[in-house]
Amino acid sequence: MPLRAKIQNPAMSINSTRKYAYATTSEIKEESGDDPSDVLFGSQYGVRTITLNRPKKLNSLDASMCRKIVPRLIEWSKSQMANVVVIKGEGRAFCAGGDIAALALQNKKGPEEQNKSKDFFALEYKLDHLIATYTKPYVAFLDGITMGGGVGLSINAPIRIATENTVFAMPETTIGFFPDVGASFFLPRLDGQLGMYLALTSEQLKGVNVFYAGVATHYIHSSSLPDLEARLSELDFKDNDSMEHRLRIVNSTIEEFCTGLPHDQPVSLPVGGKIRQAIDYAFQPANENIEKCLQMLQNLADMNPDDPGGSEVIEWAKKTKKTILQRSPTSVKVAYRQLRESPKWSIAETFIREQGIASRFMEHQDFIEGVSALLIDKPRRTPNWSPNSLDEVSDSTVQEFFPPMDQLHLQLLRSGEDADYKESPYAADIGLPRERVIEEYITQARPKSKDAVVQQFVQRSNGKQGVEEKVEEFLLRKTDEQRGQVVLRAA
């Protein structure tokens, strides 16, 4: 039998006077009943390690784990002996998400238990914001499944390492939820409309494509991770070294272990090629709503199969439209609005607003129904969403998920100028170049050849692995050479 939530009056969906648990750092500590071994901590010279240790549950994140990690991160931030923090997972997953099955069972019991679920997300987002504004180099080894809550523990870090085992996804709309853990900040900052596509479809990125997409900042074979960790432990910084300097040293150290990209795995769909062009077309910002995106997907499905790449795009468009229509209609509409508005949010505002959205979903039937149908009930079944179609989800219903900031009261663990930003302060110096940066260079420098563009970015990055491949794919997809000059194709 499907679980049924006790739904509160929508007018009371966000209690503006309620204060969440764990209001201060001192309140975040282990509690009786917490698993003593779900997170393991280590120390080797200057490296401090966090190992997520629930391999049978794919290291799914729960409150017990958060209550261990937060105090340790704060302790290390004050220690002159701790130079670099490394987070990793035991087994075949880094972290496959939050323990949402437990939350769904909890929410079934009504408003009081739903408040406990809201408290979990408050705690999780406090941790994610702490990582996003951490004052020491924080390196995430994404060696395995990385989804949902695991994304929050990694994507908010300045350095994220993918391996051949990495599987990345944001599967929230599949279960009647929304892309959270900072997705409001990082998904719109992926190239083109890739972030919107990943949010609405839950599509997976695997292996080196996680790196090419910008989700990871480096790609290393998993067999090199132990040696890399040992090498990082040897790094030593002066007390007055800036964060920028420290990250530069860590970055160059990691590059020593980047010994090559898979030759049989070029930049591929959905990150590049014809499918990437289709993504940027179907989900373009000019579309005022998700229904317009679906219409553009239908336009692609109706294209001539004899056109270049036609049959591939047609198949993709049909599949993508069908996938979106299978997701929770409420989740899809909320996520669409979220990612259209969130580029204006700072990193602190991101987590505060996501807490408001998550709180409303804890009261909504679709979260209970989606988790129940896909993760709890045996055998799995198709969720029965309520409402069950996009046209039944009104603008006023979506608005309930976006209360004004003055009605949100999540108190983050860090505040002040160094605990907030509109753009990640180190992204441009560590990861692959963003496509908009390549576009700006072409527009301003008016290079004479594509080879000149590639060489420019390879030199800028000091020969960083992956730069040549990414720039070449971009040039193939979006530029032409005309009269001795590289020009951008019309959108």
Catalytic residue list: 98, 149, 172, 180
- The answer to whether 304 and 321 are in contact (CB under 8 A) is no
User: Distance between CA 150 and CA 162 in Å, rounded?
Assistant: 13
Give which of 229, 231, 233 is closest to 82, Cα–Cα: 233
Kindly report the backbone phi and psi dihedral angles of residue 316, in degrees, each rounded to the nearest multiple of 5, phi listed first: -60, -45
CA quadruple 87, 30, 5, 10: dihedral sign? negative
φ, ψ for residue 59, nearest 5 deg: 60, 30
Q: What DSSP string runs through 284-296?
A: -TT--SHHHHHHH
Give the span between the Cα atoms of 287 and 201, in whole angstroms: 17
Tokens of 345: 């949010």
Give the three-class secondary structure for 235.
Answer: coil
Asked if 178 and 402 touch (Cβ cutoff 8 Å), the reply is no
What are the phi and psi torsion angles at 138 (to 5°)?
A: -125, 120
Please list, in sequence order, all residues whose beta carbon lies within 8 angstroms of the beta carbon of residue 185, skipping any fewer than 6 positions away: 132, 156, 342, 345, 347, 350
Sort residue 362 into left (φ over 0), alpha (ψ -120 to 50) or beta.
alpha
**HSE (CB half, 13 Å, CA atoms) of 300?**
30
